[in-house]
Amino acid sequence: MSSLVKLSIETALRAIRNKEFKATELVEAHIAQAQNTKHLNAYITEIFDVALEKAKIADENYQSGKARKLEGIPVGIKDLFCTNGVRTTAGSKMLANFVPGYESTVSANLQNAGAIMIGKTNMDEFAMGSSNTTSYFGNVINPWKEVGSNDDLVPGGSSGGSAAAVSSFSAMGALGSDTGGSIRQPASFTGLFGVKPTYGRCSRWGMIAFASSLDQAGVFTRNVADSALLLEAVMGFDEKDSTSAKKEAPELLSACSKSIKGIKIGIPYELMKMEGISQEIMSMWQNSISMLKSQGAEIVEIELPHSKYALAVYYVIAPAEASSNLARYDGVRYGHRTEKTGLSLDEMYAQTRTEGFGEEVKRRIMLGTYVLSSSHMDAYYLQAQKVRKLIADDFKVAFQKAQAILLPSTPSSAFRIGEKQENPLTMYLNDIFTIPSSLAGLPCSSVPAALTNNGLPLGMQIITPAFDEYNLLRVSSALERCVLDINFKPRGF
Amino acid sequence: MNYILGNTGKWEYVIGLEIHAQVTSKSKLFSGASTEFGASPNSQVDLLDAGMPGMLPVLNRYCVEQAIKSGLSVNARINKMSVFDRKNYFYADLPQGYQISQFYIPIAQDGYVFINTDDGVEKKIRINRIHLEQDAGKSMHDQSPNFSLIDLNRSGIALMEIVSEPDISSPLEAAEYIKKLRSILRCVGSCDGNMDQGSLRCDANVSVRKPGEALGTRCEIKNVNSVKNVVKAIEYEALRQVEMLENGGKIDQETRLFDADTGTTRTMRSKEDANDYRYFPDPDLLPVHVDDELITKLGEDLPELPDAKISRYVSDLGLSQYDAEVIVADAYTAAYFEEASKGVSPKLVANWISSELFGRLNKNDIELAECKITPVMINQLVMLIEEGTISGKIAKTIFEEMFESGKLPDEIIKEKNLSQIDDKSLLEKVIDEVIAANPDSVEQYRSGKDKLFGFFVGQVMKNTGGKANPGLVNDLLKEKL
């Protein structure tokens, strides 16, 4: 493994600028690493040739002094973002051969800043899943292994490919998307920093929709400052997305070296009493509290009384929106269409969708269709919207006391592939900590903060008020500084 | 009141109309694609209109303003906040798998218009709501033996759905209501109202009941595409329902299709097969907020509305109610009339437009806008009549010539030597000749047969090729006889 792949984005950019090596060498090193880690199945589509072409242009740009902010940095892009001329599948058979003629705003922003896409990363089908086991293109394997075990673990989901790529050093950073935890949970499972900005910060234009009121793009990197660099490039108002926030995206890099002295950190102590949280998670949480305190933060108690309903609310609202968003995959204009002939229009739809969608997607479409049906709308969808508002209000009250909230990202560490498959509810419980802030549209991150006794990474989640990505990264960096002595590289890398 | 006479007595019509009016806008409701009519299939389709993955709608503000103008012009309340919802159903020409519409909170509510009933009485028809929505594409089933083809040019075009209360009590009232609404929309410019191009479409909800009884079960008749067919469809459907009920049957709530060829309606889908549309607010769009300032401004900028215009034409300009209504029915005609009547008698101009001009247009089956006769020509024609330069009869000849050639009246007069003969001595000479040539008639007239006077006038006109000034001829004849 080339030592170049171990660099941080910040260091690599400086080194190329200082002519220590070329962008081409950096990209080649990552391509080689992607080839060496192919068994992880992190990528659905590799575009190494295009990446190398772009690397040459990057070197020319450095030569001519026209280098952009992220010139030559190899990245992975979750296969949920439409990429012009590059197959975009959303991890589904339905779109297995779909090649968009347009580029999503977020992936365009990243590449316009000079980043080089080396592949489209694997994901749960249509971003529905917490283990990356629902992909039509197969499981992704977590580069981490438990001490003394060779069992394959899940990387988390739905952005499992992005997380696996960055943690196995085949990309320096990756785009992901987070609807109910799809960045934070895999970040936690792979020892990465993952961040989901405020809903509305990143344009959703060109990002294949799962649940429109929750979907938000974000990034994975191996440290907080690298995420600051990527976020500065991808965030921003887009007139093509009506829910995009008309706000200037903030500078973020300086947040990563700013002290948190005097910052008030809120802890929802009542959540600590929740059943099913492992002792390891609890001690990480308590350690993180003390570490931030030692950095000068003030710890305050906050309450999120409606958070216990968040999972239920989420599994009404997200499937409801998904059932409608996925209606367009009907075999009429693009994507999979059944080869059976002699069918009526309705039969063609049923057959195409039966063949094209996987089990989890079908389950959620059924669920969503049910909760929106005229006889159940009031009991489920409308009720869920009311509770969603209460959950968001809890955060508003909490943020009158605190500037950031600290809680775990996940209730457990990465589990074995095939585990939690029997009962979908067990799988849904993975998102218990991440969903409340998603429902409230708040910026949040997962910072690697501890290793389990079995040597697997665990992440702490930080949540700040809407559009306060600055303090999000500021507190994240502070926590990162406290755990510098922990090695968050998977063994063997 | 117009009743249906059944075997068991009188039945009342209860009719409500849903009008889909295409908003006059260059681009679609949520995309930048063109809305021009008649383009080749699938040539005006944005990524959004084709339901491509990851595409998002962006509201066309202009369409919102047109809907607000329309709402104000039918006395509706404009909702300061309205919401776009998704109406979910599967069909091949609905690329997103849902139509973006306004179900829960429409842009405008609680309006009304006045129409004239069959008895000529003014009647208020309440409008429940106006909401904005996307049109679907078009399925074509007759282009290929193996496939249905889809044209998405229409997909995403802005429609205003204007829903009346069931206040309409006869097929003719329904026709009056559509015409009134169309004239208002044309006047404010929010819809061109062309039913033959599909920019105004009508669904009719029809039920019947015995006078004084509760509302009957209604059937919805879909997509009736001319005023004439709305009348026919309602007449047929109401009669069908009466016959069914009188024969002991019951009406099933259902959606029916009108067949223009046979003049009948037939079942399209029953209530059991009706879709559950699963309406919910579209999470891709923010609620639409309109402030008082915009509503006030759009209200102030509204042109004079048809009702106000009709009463002004009748009371200030002296037009007949009929002429005023005919002219005001269409904003283009009204503007035409105003220009043609500059400096001349509006009443006379109105007569020419409503009888001669419209008669001629109907005969040739063309629109006013396609006609060669301009307002300036009508204006000049009427002026020449008022000045006495031409007689009414000559004017008709000139009118025909204008219609054919598009030439100005004075040009035609010059070319054809048509101006009126006012020369007293010349007319006296002709009269003398007529008297000399008809001694018997002169004798009879002088012995008291007054009716023969017309005969002499006719002879003089004949001998002058119709150009003699009729007033002068009268005077001179009386003198000489």
DSSP secondary structure of A295-355: TTPEEEE---TTGGGHHHHHHHHHHHHHHHHGGG-SSSSSS------S--HHHHHHHHHHH
User: Among B378, B415, B376, which residue's Cα sits nearest to residue B395?
Assistant: B378
Please compute the mean of the pLDDT values over residues A268-286 and round it to a whole number. Answer: 88
A-chain CB neighbours of B283 within 8 Å are: 211-213, 243, 321
Element spanning B428, H or E: helix B424-437
pLDDT of residue B412: 86
Q: For residues B171 and B145, which has the higher predicted lDDT (pLDDT)?
A: B171
Closest-approach residue (CA) in chain A for B50: A333
pLDDT tens digits along B221-277: 987 889 999 999 999 999 999 999 999 999 999 999 999 899 999 998 887 777 899
Write out the E strands in A68-227. 74-78, 116-121, 173-178, 193-196, 216-221
The answer to whether B260 contacts chain A (CB < 8 Å) is no
User: Cβ(A394)–Cβ(A303) under 8 Å?
Assistant: yes
Closest-approach residue (CA) in chain A for B146: A342
Rounded distance, CA B67 to CA B78, Å? 9
pLDDT tens digits along B155-181: 999 999 999 999 999 999 999 999 999
The verdict on a CB contact (< 8 Å) between A345 and B88 is no
The answer to whether B212 contacts chain A (CB < 8 Å) is no
User: A289: helix, coil or strand?
Assistant: helix
Which of A78, A120, A145, A420 is catalytic? The answer is A78
Rounded distance, CA B319 to CA B229, Å? 30
The distance of A244 to chain B (nearest Cα, Å) reads 10
pLDDT of residue B369: 83
B-chain CB neighbours of A95 within 8 Å are: 53
User: Cβ(A163)–Cβ(A187) under 8 Å?
Assistant: yes
What is the ipTM score, two decimals? 0.96
For residue B312, pLDDT over 80 is answered with yes
Q: For residues B362 and B65, which has the higher predicted lDDT (pLDDT)?
A: B65
pLDDT of residue B1: 64
Closest-approach residue (CA) in chain B for A326: B97
Amino acid found at B12 = E
Residue A336's Cβ-count burial label (10 Å; 0-12, 13-18, 19+) is: buried
The verdict on a CB contact (< 8 Å) between B54 and A374 is no
Amino acid found at A368 = G
- Token code pair at residue A108: 């365009």
Q: What is the mean pLDDT of chain B?
A: 92
User: How many CB atoms sit inside 10 A of residue A16's CB?
Assistant: 23
| Residue A56 falls in the annotated catalytic set | no
The distance of B86 to chain A (nearest Cα, Å) reads 8
φ, ψ dihedrals at A381, nearest 5°: -65, -50
What own/partner pairs with CB < 8 Å and gap ≥ 24 does B444-451 have?
Answer: B445/B481, B446/B481
pLDDT of residue B456: 86
pLDDT tens digits along A214-271: 999 999 999 999 999 999 999 999 999 999 999 999 999 999 999 999 999 999 998 8
Please compute the mean of the pLDDT values over residues B431-436 and round it to a whole number. Answer: 88
| Residue A78 falls in the annotated catalytic set | yes
CB nearest A240 (choices: B53, B58, B88): B58
User: Among A394, A486, A479, which residue's Cα sits nearest to residue A442?
Assistant: A394
pLDDT tens digits along A98-120: 999 999 999 999 999 999 999 99
Please compute the mean of the pLDDT values over residues A46-52 and round it to a whole number. Answer: 98
Q: For residues B146 and A131, which has the higher predicted lDDT (pLDDT)?
A: A131
- CA-based R_g, chain B, Å: 29
Please compute the mean of the pLDDT values over residues A177-197 and round it to a whole number. Answer: 98
B152-B157-B159 Cα angle (round to 5): 135
Please compute the mean of the pLDDT values over residues A384-388 and round it to a whole number. Answer: 98
Q: For residues A186 and B473, which has the higher predicted lDDT (pLDDT)?
A: A186
pTM over 0.95: no
User: Cβ(A356)–Cβ(A331) under 8 Å?
Assistant: yes
User: Cβ(A421)–Cβ(A396) under 8 Å?
Assistant: no
- Token code pair at residue B224: 């009736």
Amino acid found at B240 = R
pLDDT of residue B231: 95
Token pair 């106000």 is found at B308
For residue B477, pLDDT over 90 is answered with no
- What residues are paired with B474 via a beta bridge? none
Burial B435-471 (b: 16+ CB within 10 A, else e): beebeebbeebeeeeeebeeebbebbbebbebbbbbe
- Token code pair at residue B73: 């012009």
For residue B465, pLDDT over 90 is answered with no
Amino acid found at B280 = F
Rounded distance, CA B160 to CA B81, Å? 17
How large a percentage of chain A has pLDDT more than 70?
100
